[in-house]
Chain A
Amino acid sequence: MRIFDPHIHMTSRTTDDYEAMHAAGVRAVVEPAFWLGQPRTSPESFYDYFDALLGWEPYRAAQFGIQHYCTIALNPKEANDPRCTPVLDELDRYLAKDRVVAVGEIGYDSMTPEEDEALARQLQLAVEHGLPALVHTPHRDKTAGTRRTLDVVRESGIAPELVVLDHLNELTVGMVLDSGCWAGFSVYPKTKMSEDRMIEILKEFGTARVLVNSAADWGRSDPLKTRRTADAMLAAGFDDDRVDTVMWRNPVAFYGQSGRLELDPCPDEPGRDEDATFQGNSIRRGGA
């Protein structure tokens, strides 16, 4: 089984996680730029973080046979802090990078005017750079927030098939799929979405334009939730082809719209990233 986790925060995870993910079938991930638990107070912290998403993290992932891409944005929560908003002026530089396959995570946290401004401006950047957009939906007042997000997406003029709204649930999935956008689901141990609920949604709405992710980060979360959901799909009677649609072909189709997703079909050996090899020799960080 091959798995593409379209939303996971690997900077918060260990090498044990990378090993377990590879063993479970994960061969590619997208890591969206987001908040870090501890609020940042200056733009420079963001630039170091973006550099890590483009540098150290793909390097680490390649050593475990996992291809790592990222999305770049000023997240909604920190868009409210005037000390952080100068980041918006520097995003062009980062959105030009090869491994950036979308603008994100953008969207609403508390639905403030500052968040309105950051969301609209960053949807515009997605249009200018020809990139998809990964849009987070708020945890509080989710249904109203999702409705408002869809309004802003429509007003921006971005093609709906270039947009995924993430962290959806039973109450928000219908309006998102009706809009032509993609529907993202974060399967969590306790909150957001569970494997069983995900199966019911897939039965009702089908597998088209659906992305399933673990959204694993520094909180209570599980980087193997993609595999556990795939296993639950098989147990519920979905065939291998439909599991592959959800777990691989859909994320490839969505992020592939960036024109920057250059995936090895399915590397089996760790360290096969072309960047990490020279004349066939794998280069690793030594254990000294």
Chain B
Amino acid sequence: MSVADPFPPTPAVPHTALRAALDTAARVWLDEAAATITAEPAAIRRLFPAARRRCGRARLTEHWTVDEAARAVLLTALPRTGPALADEVTLLHRHGDPAEQRAVLRTLPLLDLGELALPVVRDALRGNDTTLIEAALGPYATAHLPDAEYRQAVLKCVFYEIPLDRVHGVHTRADRELARMLAAFAQERIAAGRDVPQDIRPVVRAFPDVISEAPAAVEKQLKSDLKEQI
């Protein structure tokens, strides 16, 4: 790894902001739902889908919407660990609508799952819904996704025009091979007469030998605005 920065911190459930955002009825519902799930874990299967209707869907923080944070409260209330927790989380994702799936994906780093939730992340990354791809590439994927899959996921974001500053850990996980793949992508775009996305440049530039090995047109393109910025 070229950059020594530690992984960005894992966002905790923003309990204070969430409580402030909920009206009394929603607060009561959420407290009761979490208590019910602690006492009777299978209840999450009917409470999890209802959380967005009950609590709302506005944006709460950079990481969480209200419904995602509320669903994170329900998931973290599950009195389960290890494979039993992974089974429940996987089922909620399998049968979830996109909003439920985003909530599962955003909560993964807060659950003690080891690598057991990687199939859930892979499922989201196989699809075409950019909101799910983005949610899948959070701290959990940064910590657990194997190198080859992480590189493919970043490249998929570039293809789908998901800005890389929304992809967790991209500069930490970037390696020479990812830089080579992005430079090759830039070459394809230049050959096709299409724009090269700005946000791949810092990733490639972290590997000067990749740039120096690229064709002159690619090197020029990838360095061009560097000069302008300086």
Binding site for B on A (CB under 8 A): 47, 54-56, 58-59, 92-94, 96-99, 259-260, 274-276, 278-279, 281, 283-286, 288
Report the Cα distance A97→B53, complex, angstroms: 9
Question: Which chain A residues lie closer than 8 Å to B95 at the CB level?
Answer: 47, 93-94
Q: How far is the CB of B30 from chain A (nearest CB, A)?
A: 16
Contact of A54 (CB < 8 Å), options: B45, B57, B98, B166: B98
* B contact face: mostly helix, strand, loop, or mixed: helix
Report the Cα distance A259→B53, complex, angstroms: 9
A56 and B50 in contact (CB under 8 A), knowing A283-B134, A286-B161? Answer: no
Closest residue of chain B to A281, judged by CB? Answer: B163
The reply to whether the CB of B212 lies closer than 8 angstroms to some CB of chain A is: no
The reply to whether the CB of B228 lies closer than 8 angstroms to some CB of chain A is: no
0/1 string, B72-116, CB within 8 A of A gives 1: 000000000000000000000001011101000000000000000
> Is the pair B49, A59 in contact by a Cβ cutoff of 8 Å?
no
Report the Cα distance A270→B163, complex, angstroms: 20
Name the residue in A58, A93, A286 with the highest tally of chain B Cβ atoms < 10 Å from its Cβ. Answer: A286
Closest residue of chain B to A97, judged by CB? Answer: B97
Q: How far is the CB of A61 from chain B (nearest CB, A)?
A: 12
Closest residue of chain A to B95, judged by CB? Answer: A93
0/1 string, B39-80, CB within 8 A of A gives 1: 000000110011011000101000000000000000000000
How many CB-defined contacts (below 8 Å) exist between A and B? 58
The reply to whether the CB of B32 lies closer than 8 angstroms to some CB of chain A is: no
> Is the pair A98, B52 in contact by a Cβ cutoff of 8 Å?
yes
Question: Which chain B residues lie closer than 8 Å to A97 at the CB level?
Answer: 49, 97
3 closest A-B pairs by beta carbon, nearest first, are A96-B49, A288-B159, A286-B161
> Is the pair B57, A274 in contact by a Cβ cutoff of 8 Å?
yes
A284 and B53 in contact (CB under 8 A), knowing A55-B98, A98-B97? Answer: no
Question: Which chain B residues lie closer than 8 Å to A94 at the CB level?
Answer: 95
Report the Cα distance A259→B45, complex, angstroms: 20
Question: Which chain A residues lie closer than 8 Å to B53 at the CB level?
Answer: 98, 259-260
> Is the pair B159, A59 in contact by a Cβ cutoff of 8 Å?
no
Q: How far is the CB of A74 from chain B (nearest CB, A)?
A: 17
The reply to whether the CB of B7 lies closer than 8 angstroms to some CB of chain A is: no
Report the Cα distance A101→B46, complex, angstroms: 17
A99 and B130 in contact (CB under 8 A), knowing A260-B53, A284-B161, A286-B160? Answer: no
Ordered by A's residue number, 13 sampled pairs between the chains whose C-beta atoms are within 8 Å are A47-B95, A55-B98, A56-B128, A96-B49, A97-B49, A98-B49, A98-B99, A99-B97, A275-B99, A276-B131, A279-B59, A283-B134, A285-B160
